[in-house]
């Protein structure tokens, strides 16, 4: 049986808005990811999952909508096996030449899409369009569950995972799972010991860029984390939390 076709081009937001299938299943319809083994009968779930994968999903020519779970897994195997476009500089392979072209820019450093308002440049036009929202202040993608709004639709879809509790990215080394693939990659470094983010002022290196940025405060003397009770300031958020627990809470309790 062939997959059920819809008017979607494969984009997560279009799939959500244009398919006729209701948001909660009333018939035996399955949705599947073309890049991994994730399968669900919930349309919101697959839209959030595809957005979390990013641009690699947007090229799927067949909307991931099927009559049986077996068909979903067959489509996944098909997409994972058909990758004729191979990078000449690393082992990565791609199903579409456009994805290979974008990937090649990670090796060459070419960023042809330049912002007219600031010196930033980007490897993909979609990243430039999203960046432009920072200058305009526009946040057109609003969450239906809370008051937050976002400049990029992908950020909204990832945010929605906080409401659904979905964590599709699972660690192969331990039981932890994550809402975003980037968080899983950072977590994997705790197993491999890799620390790619190196301090320019001292020999320290870190597994996460966030930890490097926090460490840099020790060199700059910056203390951005301020206690609301006594106005002391700290270089690290963890130091602020320890201070608050040990001192301010006891003071408020009269200890």
The two three-digit tokens of residue 41, written as one number:
């009968």
pLDDT score recorded for residue 6:
34
58 or 249: whose pLDDT is higher?
Answer: 249
pLDDT score recorded for residue 203:
93
Are 64 and 21 within 8 A, CB to CB?
Answer: no
Query: For residue range 8-56, what is the model confidence (pLDDT) as tens digits?
Result: 333 333 333 333 333 344 346 677 766 666 677 666 667 666 665 554 4
pLDDT score recorded for residue 25:
40
pLDDT score recorded for residue 61:
44
Cα(67)–Cα(2) distance, rounded to whole angstroms?
9
Classified by CATH at the fold level, domain 197-252 comes out as Double Stranded RNA Binding Domain (3.30.160)
Question: Which range has the top average pLDDT, 20-34, 84-98, 128-142, 237-251?
Answer: 128-142
pLDDT score recorded for residue 160:
85
117 or 48: whose pLDDT is higher?
Answer: 117
pLDDT higher than threshold 90 for residue 214: no
Q: What are phi and psi of 122, to 5 degrees?
A: -135, 155
Neighbouring CB atoms inside 10 A of 94's CB total 19
Q: Between the CA of residue 103 and those of 124, 149, 182, 186, 238, what are the distances in Å? A: 10, 29, 17, 20, 37
Question: Which range has the top average pLDDT, 35-39, 156-160, 243-247?
Answer: 156-160
30 or 148: whose pLDDT is higher?
Answer: 148
Q: Do domains 85-164 and 197-252 have the same CATH topology?
A: yes
Domain ranges in the chain? 12-81, 85-164, 197-252
251 or 208: whose pLDDT is higher?
Answer: 208
158 or 67: whose pLDDT is higher?
Answer: 158
Alpha helices, DSSP H, located in the chain: 12-18, 43-53, 69-81, 97-108, 125-136, 153-164, 181-192, 209-220, 237-243, 249-252
pLDDT score recorded for residue 92:
82
The CATH number given to 85-164 is 3.30.160.60
pLDDT higher than threshold 70 for residue 74: no
At 230, the pLDDT band (50, 70, 90 cuts) reads confident
Angle between helices 153-164 and 43-53 (to 10 degrees): 130
pLDDT higher than threshold 90 for residue 174: yes
pLDDT score recorded for residue 205:
92
Are 11 and 46 within 8 A, CB to CB?
Answer: no
Model confidence, pTM:
0.40
Are 39 and 65 within 8 A, CB to CB?
Answer: no
Averaged pLDDT for residues 170-196:
88
Query: Tokens 């990243």 identify what position?
Result: 127
Q: What are phi and psi of 19, to 5 degrees?
A: -70, 150
Query: For residue range 193-209, what is the model confidence (pLDDT) as tens digits?
Result: 998 889 999 999 988 88
């Amino acid at each position: 049986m062939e997959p059920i076709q819809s008017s979607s081009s494969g984009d997560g937001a279009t799939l959500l808005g244009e398919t006729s299938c209701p948001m909660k299943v009333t018939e035996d319809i399955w949705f599947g990811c073309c890049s991994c083994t994730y399968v669900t009968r919930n349309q919101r779930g697959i839209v959030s999952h595809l957005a979390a994968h990013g641009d690699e999903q947007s090229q799927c020519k067949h909307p991931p909508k099927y009559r049986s779970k077996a068909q979903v897994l067959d489509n996944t195997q098909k997409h994972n096996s058909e990758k004729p476009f191979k990078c000449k500089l690393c082992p990565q392979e791609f199903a579409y030449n456009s994805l290979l072209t974008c990937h090649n820019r990670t090796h060459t450093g070419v960023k042809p899409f330049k912002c007219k308002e600031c010196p930033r440049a980007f490897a993909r036009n979609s990243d430039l369009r999203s960046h432009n929202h920072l200058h305009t202040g526009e946040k057109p993608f609003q969450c239906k569950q809370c008051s937050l709004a976002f400049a990029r639709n992908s950020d909204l879809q990832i945010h929605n995972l906080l409401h659904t509790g979905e964590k599709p990215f699972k660690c192969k080394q331990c039981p932890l799972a994550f809402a975003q693939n980037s968080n899983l990659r950072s977590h994997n470094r705790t197993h491999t010991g890799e620390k790619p983010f190196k301090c320019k002022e001292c020999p320290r290196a870190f597994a996460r860029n966030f930890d490097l940025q926090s460490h840099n405060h020790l060199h700059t003397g910056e203390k951005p984390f301020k206690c609301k009770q006594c106005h002391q300031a700290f270089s690290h958020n963890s130091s602020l939390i320890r201070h608050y627990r040990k001192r301010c809470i006891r003071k408020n309790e009269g200890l």
